[in-house]
Structure 1
Amino acid sequence: MSFVDYMQIPLFQRAMIAAAVTGATLPLLGVVIATLNLTVIRFALMHAGLLGAAIGLGLGIPPLTGALVTIGISSLLLGPWSDRMKVDTGLTGAFFMTGTMAVAFLLFYKAGVPAMEAFALFTGSLLTVTSREVWFVAALGIVVTACFTLFYREVQLVLYNQELAESLGVPVGIIRNSLLLLTGLAIGLAIRVVGALLIDGLILLPGLSALSLARDLRSALLLSSLFGIWSAMGGFIISLFFDVPTGPTITLVGVVLLAVITVAKGRFDG
């Protein structure tokens, strides 16, 4: 089958849209993760997603919906809880990770929630994305883009100098917690698109590639979006023609891209 033939099938149409939107928008939050050193919290939010999936199955609602709600709540609590405990957000993430995992396993045992169905959320694939999930992806993409477009100055100050941001009257707490919320929701959708173990390939790797080349935040955001589209769309198309899983292929494209940029930059700088 040719690429045009694939695009006549609704399943592949949904996958293409999801790849394009996630590739263009979610890597913007990869820049946030790398700049604020939030790499640890993605594990905490993944475990919160497992709890949400378990709750969703117990209540008879879609596991993804339950996961996104729980991840969203956890994301909103991370910032204030870190401030209250006076510790780094990453350390607070460890608290959430262990707590949500414990509750999830209790639900599996006591409520009869099928564990394998909850864990199935973590083996996401573009080719199994539903129409409702495409709408979720599109809505989050619009919100993320609007956030960075409308509040670019505030986001820039919070990312690079929070003390200066506070002195200029920027609501640092609101901006930071909003970024944490968007990052959490992005992680939830990335789990569905590429799987839990491969979310860095969709979110973090394009951001790291961009930061290694960018001179300022604006160029980092633009490059992360460009590299994200390259990884997501390139990985998706390669997976079609070589009949390999989409998630690992998208991630591998991101890995190769970052490796090439790192090697090339080292040679030019040298």
Structure 2
Amino acid sequence: MWELLYAPFMIRAIIAAAVTGLAAPGVGTYLVQRRLSLMGDGIGHITVTGVALGLLTGTSPTFTAVVVAVIGALLIELIRASGRASGDLALALLFYGGIAGGLVLVQMAGNGAFALQGYLFGSIATIAPDDVVVSVILAGIAIVVGLALMPQLFAVSNDEEFARASGVPAWFYNALISVLAAVTVSVAMRTVGLLLVSALMIIPVATSQQFTRSFRTTMLAAMGFGLVAALVGVVVSAYLNLPPGATIVLVALAGFVVTSPVGLLLQRRRRARVPFDPEALPLHEEALEAHRHVHGPGCGHVAVEHGDHVDYVHDGHRHAVHVTGDGKHYDEH
């Protein structure tokens, strides 16, 4: 039973799955922060042209895929930054152009359609040793850059205008995120396939967001969830003779579904235990009737984090303390 795990092809598959499971959610965290969750999917379709170009010319499809993916990612960022089209529209323009160009080139390649299947849906069981080495190198670069430049990359992902006003070269770091996404897609195309790569970049991030509050913790937790999903998925697919890429994505999705109730419970408990100073909460007027209720963690009302303060739901209203010229009072809204 365990002999399968020690087979050479299985060892290569596990290594490729591990580096993909770490790199994809790591870069995907920045895409989610930028509200470009589908960027991995768009780059994946552009990469089809790169793979088809490699099959047509007889060169390495991995090499041509990386080159075309990086060029496509930079074009997306250039179109978005120029203001001539939104990020979603830029994705759509290259999304359809990439898939159409890939199909034309595959048809010109003659027998390239069959080989393209392994890149579209993943073929981790047949990955060659050279491809494993390339995957490890590219994934390592994406992980190291994503972690080392986290402050700068987070700044432009979270608030691009503020980052630019602070002197951060926003275009450069935005372009770097796009390049990292392109490299990650190229790494993952043999693991989960170009059509499913976006799922592995996004689902672990969505799972980690249920439990974390800071960006750094979210990113590290997402990489952990991605690693587990990739390893479990590739092992399960080997023993049950299932498609590896689809199995990895389904495992990641199952992890999100299973942890959702726990994440919801933790979020409710976190809101209820928000630090609160009862002395900072004066009397307030409600429905023109004065009463002396003081909101706090033990008051029985739902606490809702709202910017730099806490609102409490009371009699169908959200009460928030504010300071004005006439002193402190509650606003109802």
Is the CA contact (8 Å cut-off) linking 1:41 and 1:94 kept in structure 2? no
Report the TM-score when normalising by structure 1: 0.90
After TM superposition, list the pairs within 5 Å mapping 1:139-178 onto structure 2. 139-178=137-176
| Residue 55 of structure 1 pairs with residue 53 of structure 2 | yes
Question: Residue 219 of structure 1 aligns with which residue?
Answer: 217
- Write the distance in 2 (CA, Å) between the matches of 1:16 and 1:85: 42
TM-score normalised by the chain length of structure 2: 0.74
Q: Unaligned 5+ residue runs, structure 2?
A: 269-333
Write the letter of the residue equivalent to 1:48: I
CA separation of 1:237 and 1:112: change in aligned 2, threshold 3 A:
closer
The equivalent of 2:282 in structure 1 is none
Between the aligned partners of 1:172 and 1:256, the Cα distance in structure 2 is 36
- Say which structure is richer in strand: 2
Tell me what 2:200 maps to.
202
Q: For the Cα contact (< 8 Å) 2:118–2:190, is it kept in 1?
A: no
Q: Summarize deviations over 1:80-104 as a string: whole Å, max 9, x none.
A: 1222343222211111122233333
Alpha-carbon RMSD across the aligned residues, in angstroms, is 2.1
Aligned to 2:286: none
Q: Where do 1:241-256 residues align within 5 Å? A: 241-256=239-254
**Residues 1:129 and 2:110 aligned together:** no
In structure 2, C-alpha distance between the alignment counterparts of 1:18 and 1:104, rounded to whole Å? 25
Q: What's 1:27 paired with? A: 25
Q: 1:233 pairs with 226, 231, 234, which one?
A: 231
Structure whose CA Rg is larger: 2
Q: Deviations over 1:167-192 (max 9, x none)?
A: 22211111111111111221222221
Whether contact under 8 Å (2:55, 2:109) holds in the other structure is no
CA offsets 1:27-68 (integer angstroms, 9 cap, x no match): 111212211122333333222112112211221112232222
Structure 1 residue 11 displacement after superposition: 0.7
Amino acid at match of 1:94: A
> Which residue identity is paired with 1:239?
S
Residues 197-236 of structure 1 deviation map (CA, whole Å, 9 limit, x = unaligned): 3223422111111122221111011101110111011212
Unaligned runs of 5+ in 1: none
Relative contact order higher in (CA < 8 Å, ≥ 6 apart): 1
CA distance in 2, matches of 1:99, 1:34: 24
Distance 1:113 1:236 in 2: 28
Identity of aligned residues (%): 26
Bigger proportion of residues as helix: 1
The aligned length equals 268
Change in CA separation of 1:10 and 1:155 when aligned onto 2, cut-off 3 Å? same
Assess if the C-alpha contact under 8 Å between 2:44 and 2:195 holds in 1.
Answer: no
SS of equivalent to 1:86: coil
Indicate conservation of the 8 Å contact 1:27/1:225, yes or no: yes
Preserved contact between residue 63 and residue 121 of structure 1 (Cα < 8 Å): no
